[in-house]
Amino acid sequence: MLKRGANEKALTGQVSLSTGGALADAFSLIGGAPFEIRYSESGIEEAVIIWPYPKLLQALLRSPMPLLPSQTHEWHGRMDAAGQRERANALRSLTWEGAQYCVRYLLRTDDARYVRVEERGRRIAGKEGMQSRVIGVLTNIDSVQEEVERAAYLSAHDDLTGLWNKNRLVEGLDYLIALVRRTRQFAIYLRIEISNLAQTNETYGYETGDRLLLGIADRLRDMMRAPDMLARVENASFGLGLYGVKEEDLDILVARLQTILSEMPYNSFHGPLYAECNFAATSLADKAQCSYDALSQAGAALEYAAKHEKPGLSFYSNDMKIKPAPMPQDVATAEDILEALNDRRILLAYQPIVDAKTRELHHYECLLRLRTDAGEMVSAGRFIMAAEKLGLIHLLDRRALALASETLRQYPDVELALNVSAGTVKDMEAADAYIAALRALGPAVTRVTLELTETVALEDPAMASRFSVEARSLGCEFAIDDFGSGYTTFRNLMAIEADTIKIDGSFIEDISISPYKQTFVRMMVDLAQTFSVKTVAEMVDSHSDADLLKRLGVDYLQGYMFGVPSASPAWRKQAS
């Protein structure tokens, strides 16, 4: 990042920002300040910090900061306590050439403000006679953090009123239904629709309509008590989950709400405003078994009241028709799946898996893809999920095996890994048919590895063990996919005698800057080696992650760094 020689003066702080040139301009554009840490004989705690461009640091912190911290302990004195610990641990973990770290913490400026920053660094081995050093960059992430927090807030709250939104209400209603069942109490879902909001917006403008909604939200909020819940579910509707309320209590409750919401005016620039409200309700855990039922039933009650011109309260009953929710376009039906299979539009893409030490190709994983009517190759994820629910997943497994069989026949040096679903393993007839298809491969079966997810292996360990024993007896190898994503012990999974485990990508991504992930993966690798089991790391997308995984002892690597899933991988291009 910072070179010696021409930039030697910059590293010693002797070059001002005005003469820093392109390098300073580049850091300025990303809002960062570069630094170098030079280790002292007394350890990292007394390491020297060099800021080649002081004005960049001042701009980053929005503070003059006349005295730049030149030692680690001085810098830590400006940090929050949690940040001090995390940064100190990160620096101590830099025990090898190229080791990286990334920490975030709060930094106190000279005017007693706190700025949230991100610090990234890498250890560089010193030349002969020189100590190792760390080079890195500090960036101000206040605005980024604000955006993240804002997005998290809006994922659960209505932007105008600050109340829960519909998504958060769905979670809350499911919780309330479970609470009712557990405590054997009562609860009601009540929906309030402001019927004159559209007229208010049209007559006085949307700003006035928003003021009306804010006033209603404030009055409803004042009435809530735990564990009641309140949300704005649509533009003109509010939803209330009311614990301990029975059906016979609703008339009194709604009369009170009518008085509070409709009879008392709301102030506006155009004079007093009045809200006109309609109410619909259903019983939780009695009529509504889940949040979806509650929302649908209250909606049906509102429509029934509007159709029959019955203002006031409408309570859901079984004779009210609920409109079926439109099926999402990305949900596949049994007919879609069978049609795609019959039209030969379910195909395979191949992703390379390489040896961690040599980076040479070891084998390919076969992934299902769907060819659309327009000829585009897309993920078959929606077909796979639908097929699992419809009990047709074994058909996709057999199609993948048939396609892989043709590839094995055409390319005698290629080794393939195939995913096998729970629907195939747990169904005796489907499992036997799959084993028979494997047997039909003859000698080529020894070039096949079957991958079974950890979750599937645990759902029915007896059937999983039976399937793996029969497949292995033919010459297949067996792998456990997404290892680490479930809740079990290594020994339990080894009951199915896997030859390989594939470490879930959530533990691999950015592992080079995450000491916690490094510790976890190191433990996995040590256990795997104890059982003479090979390891594959998924989602390896950077050279630093790949280098670290090699050092940790992982056997094979898979990720976009080594190749994206392709219907025409390198071996086909070479053969043609």
pLDDT of residue 174: 87
Q: Is the pLDDT of residue 7 over 50?
A: no
pLDDT confidence of 329, banded at 50, 70, 90? low
Task: Output the pLDDT for position 2.
Answer: 36
Under the banding of pLDDT at 50, 70 and 90, the label for residue 568 is confident
Give the domain-ending residue among 91, 125, 148.
148
Q: Is the dihedral of CA 556, 560, 562, 565 positive or negative?
A: positive
Shared domain check, 501 and 442 = yes
Structural domain includes residue 491: yes
User: Does residue 364 sit in the same domain as residue 393?
Assistant: yes
**436 and 556 both lie in a single domain:** yes
Q: In 3-state terms, what secondary structure has residue 502?
A: strand
Domains contained in the chain, number: 3
Q: Do residue 430 and residue 397 come from a single domain?
A: yes
Instruction: Give yes or no: residues 407 and 514 share one domain.
Output: yes
Q: Does residue 305 contact residue 278 with C-beta atoms inside 8 Å?
A: yes
For residue 563, pLDDT beyond 80: yes
Dihedral of the CA atoms 90, 95, 101, 105 (nearest 10)? 20
- Inform me whether the pLDDT recorded for 309 exceeds 80: no
- Residue 231 scores a pLDDT above 60: yes
Residue 368 in any domain: the answer is yes
What range defines the domain where residue 257 resides?
155-315
CATH of residue 90:
3.30.450.20
Does 328 fall in a domain?
no
What are the backbone angles phi and psi of residue 185, rounded to the nearest 5°? -105, -160
Per-residue pLDDT, 21: 67
Task: For residue range 534-543, list pLDDT tens digits in order.
Answer: 999 998 988 8
Does 23 share its domain with 121?
yes
The percentage of residues in the chain with a pLDDT greater than 90, rounded to a whole number, is 35
356 and 280, same structural domain? no
Residue 535 placed within a domain: yes
Rounded CA-CA distance 390/46 in Å is 64
At residue 420, φ and ψ (nearest 5 deg) are -120, 135
Beta-carbon contacts of 283 under 8 Å, excluding residues fewer than 6 positions away, are 186, 187, 188, 247, 316
267 with 354, same domain: the answer is no
Do 432 and 546 lie in one domain? The reply is: yes
Last residue of a domain, one of 91, 114, 148: 148
- Length, in residues, of the chain: 576
| pLDDT (mean) for 231-246 | 93
Instruction: Assess whether 399 and 293 both reside in one domain.
Output: no
**Contact assessment for residue 17 and residue 56, using Cβ atoms and an 8 Å cutoff:** yes
Lowest mean pLDDT among 1-10, 109-118, 141-150, 311-320: 1-10
Residue 364, domain member (yes or no):
yes
- Examine the pLDDT at 187 and tell me if it is beyond 90: yes
534 beta partners:
500
Digit-coded pLDDT (tens) for 424-438: 988 899 999 999 999
Instruction: Give the CATH number for residue 534.
Output: 3.20.20.450
| Residue among 65, 66, 64, 61 nearest 33 (CA) | 61
User: Does residue 308 fall inside a structural domain?
Assistant: yes
Gap between the terminal Cα atoms of the chain: 42
pLDDT digits (tens, 9 = 90+) for 407-423: 999 999 999 999 998 88
Single out the residue in 98, 127, 148 at which a domain terminates. 148
